[in-house]
Amino acid sequence: MEIKTMTHREAINRCYELTPQLREYDEFMYIGVRWLPYTMFFHPKNYHSKVINTDNMGFRLTQSHRGWVSPAEFPDDVAVNIVIGGSTAMGTGATSDAYTVASVLAELTGEIWLNFGGRGYNCVQEAIIFMLNEHSLKKINNVIILSGLNTLTLEGLPDEYTTEYGKYYYSYEFSHYMHKYNQSQKGVSNACISSDESKTQRIIPRITEKFTGWLDQVDEHSVEKIFTDVYIDIDQRIQHAAQMTIESAIQIQQLAKSHNARVHFVLQPLSRWSKQYFHPCEEEMFNTVDYCANNFWRLFQRLCTPNLHEKYSSQIRQGCIQAALPYHDMNLLMQKSPALNDNIYIDHLHLNDLGYREMGRLIYEYVI
């Protein structure tokens, strides 16, 4: 197909024309993100729209035979099941809550499935959100960890944002604005001026404070800092992301033991890892996203190559085998789907209603 050149604004508008529900997801996450302890951030709570709805804790609702359910409100007289992960587990791209993987599995199994997906979460945050909430569940049958790609993507951030606990979605923003806070605290500690200081000594800090305030205002309206993954060693990136993913999955497995729950790790699908040929609508959407990419998508530059798939998948598979944790690669399972050649991706990471329905069906048939 012919590749059309677009401005950033033209590309955004075209994305919304091709996939109207994306506008709702952008408004949902980027306007209403909540800052929380331990997980750092989560979805807005009690959010209501035709596309996405959340409970009073920010979890997305699931359609079930018992009505709409969520981690904050579900029948306590039956066992529940959980889908946990990042934005794919949450269902970014679905036109309504009824088309997420959790809702599809609820329909196919006739059981309660709760959506623990957190948009933008890496594997550690996924484990933490499970740890913070599993105590409220009396009995869990299955836990599906549908994950792997957010962590690999975010490990592409520059090394200056590396911590002993990995990299995460707001790595730059957290360090940047917390540094500002530290600087402001230094100013407070130096605010007491002794009575014998000269008038000039008292005036200079005030001028400095005003100048710093002006710089802060300029910074608040500055252009987004641009990141790419071109300087990151890809083998080290894969190894570190795989190790973090395995360790977090094992933590979830350990926590789920008190429920005698069956825990399954499913490597989430990536467009060019699961398909060789693409529908024209998918190709147009991929091209359009390239023209309005944010930092997260820029970190995808070297991931959308099939040869990386086996390297990453095999390392996670081996770790899961050692932990006696069932492992499944959705990229391979998708190749069994009759819908593989249809339009199922809305970008390289997220799917549409048909894509999520197929993923739920494959989990039902081959995983649980």
Residue spans per domain, the chain: 8-160+228-366
Q: Rounded CA gap, 326 and 265, in Å?
A: 6
Exposed (0-12), middle (13-18) or buried (19+): which is 217, by Cβ within 10 Å? exposed
Local structure of 97: helix, strand or coil: helix
**Each residue's pLDDT tens digit, 89-147:** 999 999 999 999 999 999 999 999 999 999 999 999 999 999 999 999 999 999 999 99
Instruction: Determine contact, residues 348/284, Cβ cutoff 8 Å.
Output: no
Contact 143, 84 (CB under 8 A): yes
- Going by the DSSP 8-state scheme, the letter that residue 348 receives in this structure is S
**β-strand partners of 323:** none
Place of tokens 């109207």: 20
Pairing of strands 262-267, 112-115: unpaired
At 4 the pLDDT is 77
Three-state DSSP at 167 gives: coil
Residue 46: Cβ-neighbour burial (10 angstroms; 0-12, 13-18, 19+): exposed
Hunting for tokens 């990471």 — which residue is that? 349
DSSP 108-164: HHSSEEEE---TT--HHHHHHHHHHHGGG-S-EEEEEEEESHHHHHHTTS-GGG--T
- Which segments of the chain have a pLDDT < 70? 1-3, 187-224
**What integer pLDDT is reported at residue 230 of this predicted model?**
75
| Beta-bridge mates of residue 42 | 34
Helix (H, G, I), strand (E, B) or coil at 343: coil
Distance (Å) of CA 356 to CA 40, 238, 300: 27, 26, 21
Please tell me the predicted confidence (pLDDT) of residue 302. 81
C-beta of residue 327 within 8 angstroms of C-beta of residue 265: yes
Token pair for residue 360? Answer: 């739920």
* Pairing of the two strands 67-69 and 62-64: antiparallel
Rounded Cα gap, residues 308 and 313, in angstroms: 8
DSSP string, 279-337: -HHHHHHHHHHHTT--HHHHTTTTTS-HHHHHHHHHHHHHHHHHTT--EEEHHHHGGG-
On whether the CB atoms of residues 154 and 232 are closer than 8 A, the answer is: no
Q: Which residues have C-beta within 8 Å of that of residue 38, sequence separation ≥ 6?
A: 128, 132
How far apart CA 169 and CA 21 sit, in angstroms, is 22
Q: Quote the pLDDT of residue 214.
A: 45
CATH topology of domain 8-160+228-366: Rossmann fold (3.40.50)
Closest CA to 51 of 24, 31, 29: 24
Give me 252's structure tokens: 């979830």
